[in-house]
Amino acid sequence: MTVTLLDFYADWCGPCKTQDPILEDLEEEWDSVDFEKVNVDEEQDVANEYQVRSLPTLIVENDDGIVDRFVGVTQAEDLAAALEKASA
């Protein structure tokens, strides 16, 4: 099963900068997950498709669709739990 974590961010977003190191650590631990960054200023169509209204927004999805959605800075433990759920 393909699991993806979409990180919707903007260069001007302070909380997004806080989220980055958390995601970088997770990416090292989760080889089986595709981590994708989506700059909402450059990819507004994708942000609209996922109905992103606040930043950062993190979406965990698998072949069945969206498994979890987080708005605001999210801790590694919460994201890891969502990745576990999506991988099951």
Active site residues: 13, 16
Name the amino acid, one letter, at 47. A
Which has the closest alpha carbon to 40: 18, 12, 73, 10?
Answer: 10
